[in-house]
Structure 1
Amino acid sequence: MSHAQHAVPRRHSGDTVVVLALGLAAMVVSMMQTLVVPVLGIIQSDLEVTTANVSWVTTATLLSAAVFTPLLGRFGDQHGKKPTLVGVLLVMIAGSVLAATTTSLTWLIVGRVMQGAATAIFPLALSVLREEIKPEKLHGAMALVSGTLAFGSGLALVGAGLLTQGSDPDYHRVFWLAVALAVMALAGVLFAVPASRTKTGGRTDWLGAFTLAMLLVLLLLPISQGHEWGWTSGRTLGAFVGAIVMAVVWVITESRVKEPMVDMRMFAHRPVLFTNLAGLLLGFAMFTQFIGVSYLVQMPEDVAGYGFGASVLAASVVYLLPTTLVSLVGAQFGGVLVRRLGARVTLAAGACFGVLGFTWLSAAHDATASVIGAGMVIGLAISFGYASMPALIVASVPAHQTGIANGINSISRSVGSAVASAVITSLLASKTIPLPDGMPALPQESQFTLSFTIAGAAFVLVVAVALVGLKAAHAPRTPVLRKVTQSGTPQSAEVEADAELV
């Protein structure tokens, strides 16, 4: 069944309500990634498990997101975005309730796997925006929804810190917060988001989904667990080799399937390929700032000779929340820049702010004002990146591939975050301060400086990607659009609007 046979006229009623509902849903996505970070120690203590075992509470969500995001993004393109959104939110609510009520690590990990499916909400939300929002307002809507991702991460940190204060902290409250917010998001989607305007139909490429899932699991598992396993251990190296093999298998599979989950021509399309590379680098830099600053400010100055001895709550509220607030506000300016200057220039401008922020953080992280100020500059960089990447993707693929294309871009950011976590953890553990027996090892200050320098270099690469790699992003656009237009879908106005975003 063709894409054109499913098209119905575009509706524009209640645009603001739709954007707000999808923004709330997207905020829930990012909260699932960082919600447990401040309470991992509490979970480990309550459940009496090892550090290696409790790390699966975060790894499980990462792997689940990698598996389900592209599959559900494609499923939404085929069978309707709204029912897919509703289904994902129901699964997430069930997983959150399970995590909030269990005292078993096994069932907690199962709940986190179910929560990981929520990552698919973001690409589905962007697909809905492309269908329902007027072309001249699309860039601003995407920027707002994208901006809620960074805000959600900060809100999760603050919420987790507040809910676990006191002498007898209970991590279950954090998951009840997830339940409440997910129910609100579900209500918003049910009442504000209209039924899908287009459905491509077709069969689900289960073989392609399975091979891509295996590829991502084999890639992300050693990245997230390499520090525990050892970077030269047989398990780590074997998983990386397996990822390379599965990458070849996946490409061969998708090249031969009649209706592939990922159109390899779209995947290799220059603007899509380089936007995904930018997403990976942005995810790396963003998570480096989050985890690096969080660890840095909690270092006891009287013992380590640096740091501020901040609590988990103070680290979240005082040092990280300003970054997320700037990201939320800056996303709106990013949307304006996308419309006036183009997404490529906006991405480059944001990356320049990122270079400036990490240079500042590397050189002067011995004062509270410097750490907060540098973080706010980095937050502006993140917001511009989040505003520009969806615009680049939407302008580079036909409408019926929006979900899967943005799903792959979301995964690229997740991979970048996972790499950042592995790199920072390894760097901080590689050089420590000699301390008396019985005291936990503390990293040398130089390791934080090195981490921030590497993140700044990542932003330098984003500048290069934007100015060089994406320079001809609009050139390959015409033949792809002609093919869609010839199928009978009335997309001329949308095509012109998309082209302006680049």
Structure 2
Amino acid sequence: MKSSLAAAPDRRTGSLSLVLVLGLAAMVVSMMQTLVIPILGVIQNDLGATTAQVSWVTTATLLSAAVFTPLLGRFGDQHGTKPTLLGVLVVMVAGSVLAATTSSMLWLIVARVMQGAATAIFPLALSVLRAEVEPARLPGAMALVSGTLGFGSGLALVSAGLLSQGAHPDYHQVFWLAAALATAALIAVAVAVPAPRARTGGRTDWLGAAGLALLLVLFLLPVSQGHSWGWTSARTLALFAAAAVTTVIWVVVERRVHDPLVDMKMFVHRPVLFTNLAGLLVGFAMLSQFIGVSYLVQTPAEIAGYGFGASVLRASVVYLLPSALVSLVAAQLGGVLVRRIGARSTLAAGGVFGVVGFAWLTLAHDTTASVILAGMVVGVAISFGYAAMPALIVAGVPHHQTGIANGINSISRSTGSAIGSAVITSLLASRTLDNLPPGVPALPSESQYTLSFALAGMAFALVIGVAMVGLAIRRTSPSSTTDTPAPTGDGETEPARTAVTA
């Protein structure tokens, strides 16, 4: 059976300006995730908040992303990617302006919820690319847009550090920057992104959306707050149990709905399932690097016996920015590798770089050069992973499920990041140095950093296993149907939807 595109000329080209605009939008999204990390202390002091209260500035964004990303990805598939993109960007601009003008913790959290919804922009951007970019150029285009995620996360840390310097730092300036960038992305998308070629229509599975939102909140809330609540507290255990029960109920309901939010056959389809597992592992490793390196280099060596006593700004500019810059460049190489050797092999190569980078950090984090160079190797690993995963998703689902499938993959990476943050934070707090001078806050033992980096390296080792074993091409049945051809793990093209046999 021939592809539907084979019957008519393919008018897709995908101009460079379109790819750059979508890359800008994706970069702004990634900045929303890490923008507040350097200014949490400033927010806490200015608003007179407790540590538990200010932690919701990050938790609210995580939960909002988990709730809205799959829903808006599906909405874009059904009703058009451009109007959905514009709507999400308007919400992000409004949330950024609200955060920049409020001095209320409640309204700041509301603003962060609005910014978190913008995470849906990334899967929507990939849907636009699949519709507008010719197949030969699609891997490179997706790699460029994906590469902006790692770069944006690092750029946000640097920008927030710069804007919060001085004797009287003002966190509002950071959110004004976010508002300006979001407005620029909104205007660029309105001008450069064409109207959708087709809309699948259909009703929105609100029950499925509510169920997915509930189970994600029930799981991610104790993950993000478990360190403060206690991992064995009744509240934490009850929420994990409720998440498990809700997951079972949601799966049963989605299997019986005529037009479900998430097609369970798509969700457990081998390429999609293992790509989401890879996303979870890469997200875990990425946050492990951000948090581990940031805390390590800010530790005063004269007190702890390790660290570099760096300021927040120096930690961002000197130690984290090089990794972000390398990741942006490596994303282009990742796109080339996807075309040349296939997405599966590119993902495995990323895993190898990740193992090398974190092994370096594990064994030698006592010099500035070592930390920077090892971080740059990890940046290459993350970029290769980001370049490969969208290509694997596109190859594994039909065109009309691109948005929701990439939305779920985005959530897998966010969930991995949340787990990474929780695990590393708990590890660093579980064993601290003794005999510290009076007035010095608790400092982790150096062995906890060694363990944290080793765990992140193990995560990348598992990525290699996922790529080489979990994503190995399996024989398809003769009754397979076809959609848009897409790059496979072997560097060739295959139908985007296949019937996988045992």
Following superposition, the deviation at residue 12 of structure 1 comes to 3.4
CA 1:376 to 1:172, structure 2 compared with 1: closer, same or farther past 3 Å?
same
Residue 494 of structure 2 aligns to a residue whose secondary structure is helix
Match of 1:210 in 2: 210
Q: Which amino acid aligns with 1:177?
A: L
Distance in 2 of aligned mates of 1:327 and 1:494: 22
Residue 432 of structure 1 aligns to a residue whose secondary structure is coil
Match of 1:279 in 2: 279
* Residue 472 (1) aligns with residue 467 (2): no
Match of 2:51 in 1: 51
Following superposition, the deviation at residue 197 of structure 1 comes to 1.2
Match of 1:220 in 2: 220
Distance in 1 of aligned mates of 2:345 and 2:90: 39
CA 1:494 to 1:343, structure 2 compared with 1: closer, same or farther past 3 Å?
closer
Following superposition, the deviation at residue 481 of structure 1 comes to 3.3
Match of 2:456 in 1: 455
Residue 433 of structure 1 aligns to a residue whose secondary structure is coil
CA 1:255 to 1:363, structure 2 compared with 1: closer, same or farther past 3 Å?
same
Following superposition, the deviation at residue 183 of structure 1 comes to 0.5
RMSD in angstroms over aligned alpha carbons?
Answer: 1.9
Q: How many residues get paired?
A: 489
Q: Which amino acid aligns with 1:36?
A: V
Question: Which range moved further: 116-125 or 427-436?
Answer: 427-436
CA 1:365 to 1:18, structure 2 compared with 1: closer, same or farther past 3 Å?
same
Query: Does the 8 Å contact 1:391/1:501 carry over to 2?
Result: no
Q: Which amino acid aligns with 2:31?
A: M
Distance in 2 of aligned mates of 1:442 and 1:416: 25
Query: Does the 8 Å contact 1:10/1:132 carry over to 2?
Result: no
Match of 1:142 in 2: 142
Give a deviation string over 1:443-467, Cα, whole Å, max 9, x none: 0000000000000000000000000
Q: Which amino acid aligns with 2:249?
A: V
Match of 2:113 in 1: 113
TM-score of the pair, normalised by structure 2: 0.95
Query: Does the 8 Å contact 2:71/2:261 carry over to 1?
Result: yes
Following superposition, the deviation at residue 185 of structure 1 comes to 0.5
Query: Does the 8 Å contact 1:398/1:480 carry over to 2?
Result: no
Q: Which amino acid aligns with 2:147?
A: G
Give a deviation string over 1:141-188, Cα, whole Å, max 9, x none: 000000000010011011101111100000000000000000110011
Give a deviation string over 1:45-76, Cα, whole Å, max 9, x none: 10011111100000000000000000000000
- Structure 1 stretches of at least 4 aligned residues deviating more than 6 Å after TM superposition: 492-497
Match of 2:420 in 1: 420
Match of 2:441 in 1: 440
Structure 2: unaligned runs, 5 residues or longer: 498-502
Give a deviation string over 1:413-432, Cα, whole Å, max 9, x none: 00000001100110000000
Distance in 2 of aligned mates of 1:303 and 1:477: 64
Q: Could you tell me the percent identity over the aligned residues?
A: 72
Distance in 2 of aligned mates of 1:174 and 1:477: 54
CA 1:307 to 1:459, structure 2 compared with 1: closer, same or farther past 3 Å?
same
Query: Does the 8 Å contact 2:13/2:134 carry over to 1?
Result: no
Give a deviation string over 1:317-336, Cα, whole Å, max 9, x none: 00000101111000100111
Query: Does the 8 Å contact 2:12/2:131 carry over to 1?
Result: no
Distance in 2 of aligned mates of 1:127 and 1:159: 29
Q: For 1:58-457, list aligned pairs within 5 A.
A: 58-434=58-434, 435-457=436-458
Distance in 2 of aligned mates of 1:478 and 1:369: 55
TM-score of the pair, normalised by structure 1: 0.95
Query: Does the 8 Å contact 2:14/2:129 carry over to 1?
Result: no
Give a deviation string over 1:207-250, Cα, whole Å, max 9, x none: 00000000100010000000000000011000000000110011
Following superposition, the deviation at residue 101 of structure 1 comes to 0.3
Q: Which amino acid aligns with 2:38?
A: P
Q: For 1:479-490, list aligned pairs within 5 A.
A: 481-482=481-482
Match of 1:42 in 2: 42
Q: Which amino acid aligns with 2:254?
A: E
Q: Which amino acid aligns with 2:204?
A: T
Residue 396 of structure 2 aligns to a residue whose secondary structure is coil
Match of 1:488 in 2: none
Residue 280 of structure 2 aligns to a residue whose secondary structure is helix
Distance in 2 of aligned mates of 1:75 and 1:8: 27
Distance in 1 of aligned mates of 2:33 and 2:67: 15
Q: Which amino acid aligns with 2:128?
A: V
Following superposition, the deviation at residue 15 of structure 1 comes to 1.3
Following superposition, the deviation at residue 479 of structure 1 comes to 5.1
Following superposition, the deviation at residue 11 of structure 1 comes to 4.2
Q: Which amino acid aligns with 1:385?
A: G
CA 1:500 to 1:208, structure 2 compared with 1: closer, same or farther past 3 Å?
closer
Query: Does the 8 Å contact 2:215/2:243 carry over to 1?
Result: yes
Distance in 1 of aligned mates of 2:493 and 2:150: 25
Query: Does the 8 Å contact 2:57/2:109 carry over to 1?
Result: yes
Give a deviation string over 1:248-283, Cα, whole Å, max 9, x none: 011011101000000000000001000000000000
Following superposition, the deviation at residue 32 of structure 1 comes to 0.4
Distance in 2 of aligned mates of 1:442 and 1:282: 27
Query: Does the 8 Å contact 2:287/2:420 carry over to 1?
Result: yes
Structure 1: unaligned runs, 5 residues or longer: 486-490
Distance in 1 of aligned mates of 2:418 and 2:480: 33
Q: Which amino acid aligns with 1:436?
A: P
Q: Which amino acid aligns with 1:225?
A: Q
